[in-house]
Chains A and B, each alone.
Chain A
Amino acid sequence: MSVLTAARGPQVRWRWRPSTVVLYALLVILAVFYLLPMFAIVVTALKSFAEVSRSSLWELPKAPTLAGFTAAYDKLAPYFQTSVLLVVPATLLSAMLGSLNGYVLSKWKFPGANTVFALLLFGMFIPYQSILIPLFQFVSSIGLYGGVPGLVLIHVVYGIPICTLIFRNYFAAVPTELLEAGKIDGASVLGIFLRIMLPISIPGFVVVMIWQFTSIWNEFLFAVLMTIPPQQPITVGLVNLTGGLLQHYEIQMAGALLAALPTLVVYIVLGRYFVRGLLAGSLKG
């Protein structure tokens, strides 16, 4: 992860010491704690219902079967599809708004720009319960209650602060000379954005889009309140699944894995960008 490994100068050559064994032992103990739920998921999901009821969580499957996955997939497929239809437009729109705001708030500071930024940022920390009642009324009144479009709107709006923050930090690091050069060439504010800033902001887009993708995919409060069947996202699907099949832990675990898979894959492939988004959320980090 480049964010976490940068800025330390040349790597000190590592030497073997007796304390190394202790360090590795501690690392392994921690790893066991973090991987324990993964173990529980995989081992349980591969068992049959009969075996789940008979054996403890820690026994490996004697007759591995994909029955749990098939059952979970049958139930979750429509929710999964809804989540995809939700996440893609919400992520793209968030990133577009965020890049506009970040560009303006870092390179074209009008009087009071910092205050506007602070007021925007506050929206990222509020407990959403504090806006839920009027939001529910509003979304109902414009006829968007119950489905994906309403939820897209909600995620785009409440994603503005974090996307603005990440892009503002990104553009702040871009040399102002680039902007000056554009001005001298007679480019307008929007022209500089479209022709100079956007092309160099791909890494910013990657960070923002991964962050929004993960957050929206995993979100539950808006999802459970603002949608009704058949247009409910995957987190609601998983809760419905587990509520309906209390003893079927093999289906629950297979479902949990299916629900987690997209964000997990993104983390494994593009983890360092995910970490950048994570640290950006703490402002100073």
Chain B
Amino acid sequence: MATATAPPAMVERLPRSRSSRPWSWERVTPILMIAPSVVLVAIFVYYFIARTAYTSLTRWRGVVPDYTFVGFRNYARLFQTEKFQADIVNTIHFTAFFLIGCLVLGLGAAVLLDQKLPGSIIFQNVFMFPLALSFVVTGTVWRWIFNPNYGLNVLFQNAHLGFLKSGWLTDPHTALNSLTIAAVWQMSGFCMAMFLAGLRGIPDELREAARVDGASEFQAFWRVVFPLLRPITLSAVIILGHISLKIFDLVFVMTFGGPGYSTDMPGLNMFITTFRQDLVAQGAAIATVLLLMVALLIVPYLIWNLRGETER
């Protein structure tokens, strides 16, 4: 008997013997409970991804599916199009500035709020409310703020800062950065929340100890606090990074990829190619490239997270 060799504490728990039978309700019920979700995700995520990947290797264009296998021809053609090349450059540019903006504002705001001044909570709520809005609302409002005749330009003119005037979304050189400002406005509160949670988790004694050792306030932060925030920074970079790779709504609403290809992104390109131009196989190829980019970021992160969990 298995129970005979178990430590005394285990022997006492009689109900346990029920689960040691190979077929018992206690073993089957959990699997039955989770089965609907597992089946749904298996189909809607994994099977559908496989179908998209296969579609990207076919000749399907137009309304009627055509599954004639053409190998990687769609990919070869895709990477030669000026539009997709612009997508890649734009994505990198946007992601870099979006991340920098969110990290700097997020960390700055978190450090300010962590001083625990009276009224901090009000500021905290103000910094985070954009997260409750949709990209569609954000895009609509910022398009109005960026209006060259009515918006920021008027403000700069009146403040004798005429050199700051810009075409914003209408100028191919500034459109992508304008888009980035709106995105940072919306998402930097997420970074702030992460950093603030991190800062609040660091015991005061650590900073106190650094001060006792003669470190200045800045040194205490840079040498003691900041290194402890590193895992949180990595999490924030990966979550925000994958959001920026996937960006769709904001571009759709603010610029629709224009002027020219100056703000086009893979997510929008896929949508237009597939569902407006009916180049389905080509759209599937864009989708697959996009998925690979996201997976490259997310899969190691998931493994890192779940490993860490089992070690705990």
- Interface hits, B17-51 → A, CB 8 Å: 25-27, 29-31, 33-34, 36-38, 40-41, 44-49, 51
A residues within 8 A CB of B194?
279, 282, 285
Main secondary structure of the interface of A (DSSP, over half): helix
Question: Is the Cβ of A56 less than 8 Å from the Cβ of B52?
Answer: no
A residues within 8 A CB of B15?
183-184, 186
Q: Which single member of B33, B38, B138 contacts A116 (CB below 8 Å)?
A: B38
Of the stretches A63-71, A144-152, A201-209, A216-224, the one at the interface is: A216-224
Question: Is the Cβ of A130 less than 8 Å from the Cβ of B49?
Answer: yes
The answer to the question of B117 belonging to the interface, with a C-beta cut-off of 8 Å to chain A, is yes
User: What's the Cα separation between A267 and B236 when bound, in Å?
Assistant: 21
B55's nearest neighbour on chain A, judged by CB, is: A133
Question: Is the Cβ of B140 less than 8 Å from the Cβ of A104?
Answer: no
Smallest CB separation, B38 vs chain A (Å): 6
A residues within 8 A CB of B150?
56-57, 249
Q: Which single member of B41, B154, B196 contacts A120 (CB below 8 Å)?
A: B41
Q: Which single member of A114, A137, A263 contacts B132 (CB below 8 Å)?
A: A263
Asked whether A282 and B239 contact (CB < 8 A) given A7-B200, A122-B45, A259-B137, the answer is: yes
Q: Which single member of B40, B126, B231, B291 contacts A130 (CB below 8 Å)?
A: B291
The answer to the question of B216 belonging to the interface, with a C-beta cut-off of 8 Å to chain A, is no
The answer to the question of B102 belonging to the interface, with a C-beta cut-off of 8 Å to chain A, is no
B151's nearest neighbour on chain A, judged by CB, is: A57
Q: Which single member of A101, A108, A127, A274 contacts B267 (CB below 8 Å)?
A: A127
The answer to the question of A82 belonging to the interface, with a C-beta cut-off of 8 Å to chain B, is no
Asked whether A266 and B132 contact (CB < 8 A) given A4-B124, A40-B145, the answer is: yes
Q: Which single member of B26, B126, B155, B204 contacts A58 (CB below 8 Å)?
A: B155
Interface 1/0 per residue, B78-111 and A, CB below 8 Å: 0000000000000000000000000001001100
A158's nearest neighbour on chain B, judged by CB, is: B44
Q: Which single member of A3, A100, A125, A220 contacts B37 (CB below 8 Å)?
A: A100
User: What's the Cα separation between A126 and B115 when bound, in Å?
Assistant: 38
Question: Is the Cβ of B291 less than 8 Å from the Cβ of A8?
Answer: no
Question: Is the Cβ of A23 less than 8 Å from the Cβ of B117?
Answer: yes
B residues within 8 A CB of A267?
128-129, 131-132
Interface 1/0 per residue, B108-132 and A, CB below 8 Å: 1100110111101101111111111
The number of chain B residues with a CB under 8 A from chain A is 111
User: What's the Cα separation between A279 and B309 when bound, in Å?
Assistant: 16
The answer to the question of B219 belonging to the interface, with a C-beta cut-off of 8 Å to chain A, is no
Most buried by B among A27, A36, A157: A27
Question: Is the Cβ of B52 less than 8 Å from the Cβ of A130?
Answer: yes
The answer to the question of A89 belonging to the interface, with a C-beta cut-off of 8 Å to chain B, is no
Question: Is the Cβ of A132 less than 8 Å from the Cβ of B200?
Answer: no
User: What's the Cα separation between A284 and B171 when bound, in Å?
Assistant: 40
- Interface hits, B286-312 → A, CB 8 Å: 286-288, 290-291, 294-295, 298-299, 301-303, 305-306, 308, 310
Q: Across chains A and B, which 4 residue pairs bring their CB atoms closest together, nearest first?
A: A218-B134, A267-B132, A108-B30, A131-B48
A residues engaging B (CB < 8 A)? Answer: 1, 3-9, 11-12, 14, 20, 23-24, 26-27, 30-31, 33-37, 40-41, 44, 56-58, 97, 100-101, 103-105, 108, 110, 114, 116-123, 125-138, 157-158, 160-161, 164, 180, 183-184, 186, 188-190, 193, 214, 217-221, 224-225, 235, 238-239, 242, 249, 252-253, 255-256, 259-260, 263-264, 266-268, 271, 274-275, 278-279, 281-285
B residues engaging A (CB < 8 A)? Answer: 13, 15, 25-27, 29-31, 33-34, 36-38, 40-41, 44-49, 51-52, 55, 65, 105, 108-109, 112-113, 115-118, 120-121, 123-138, 140-145, 147, 150-151, 154-155, 158, 185, 189-190, 193-194, 196-197, 200-201, 204, 231-232, 235-236, 239, 242, 245-246, 248-249, 252-253, 266-267, 270-271, 274-275, 280, 283-284, 286-288, 290-291, 294-295, 298-299, 301-303, 305-306, 308, 310
